[in-house]
Amino acid sequence: MLQLFFCCLALLFCLVKPDPDPLQDYCVADTKTPPSVFTNGVLCINPNLAFASHFKTSVLSKPGRTSGNPFGFNVTLTSTTNLPGINTLGLTMARADIAANGLVPPHSHPRASEVTICLQGNLLVGFVDTSSRLYTQQLRPGESFVFPQGLIHFLFNLDSMHSALVLSGLSSQNPGTQLTSIATFVSKPGIPDEILRKAFGINGQDVAKIRKNLGG
């Protein structure tokens, strides 16, 4: 019985993969033709119609506005819209601008691991594993940190005077992002108050206040 269990487990691990490997040199995303068939990804243009410009983007060169975000951060992602050549390659790049004392709050990427490099500023970064152990490091320009797939992590700008800038690579074309606080308190429809009260050891007024503070 135990041997059967391990065989099933091994089979499961073989089936669980990140993005599938491409079957050709590239698959430049067709972002103009309305899809008639929906696939797990984006349809390709004819490879003979591909240009070098499909593999270039300047979207990460522009600073993002942090003033409109209550946490003081802005994330700019590459996608098949602004970088069609990234389609099927199993990766995404991201730029995060973080205001003075700004925070990229605890969040997770269900489909990707992430490597982050600090380009500017003084950051405190960290993640929590499934044993509730916290791993943190202080990052200065040129230093990098890795966040394992699916684990809750954060980035905090320790500098109260200057903004910070980081560049990240994620191991999926569509990594997904779930802010822990927003998903918990501002879901649509909302998680019942009784569940939130018991889960966080707070009262109904606290639940309402947190929801209001987060825009719910």
Please name each of the domains of the chain with its CATH number: 18-175 (2.60.120.10), 186-216 (no CATH)
Q: What is the pLDDT of residue 164?
A: 98
Name the pTM for this structure.
0.84
Q: What is the pLDDT of residue 40?
A: 67
Q: What is the pLDDT of residue 3?
A: 58
Q: What is the pLDDT of residue 38?
A: 66
Q: What is the pLDDT of residue 153?
A: 98
pLDDT averaged over consecutive 10-residue blocks of the chain (216 residues)?
50 55 80 72 89 96 92 96 93 97 97 96 97 98 97 98 97 94 94 96 95 88
Q: What is the pLDDT of residue 124?
A: 98
DSSP the chain: -HHHHHHHHHHHHHH--SSPPPSSS---B--SSPPSS--SS-PBPPGGG--GGGG---GGGSPPP-TTSTTSEEEEE--TTT-GGGTTSS-EEEEEEE-TT-EEEEEE-TT--EEEEEEES-EEEEEE-TT--EEEEEE-TT-EEEE-TT-EEEEEE--SSS-EEEEEEESSSS---EEHHHHHHS-SSPPPHHHHHHHHT--HHHHHHHHHHTT-
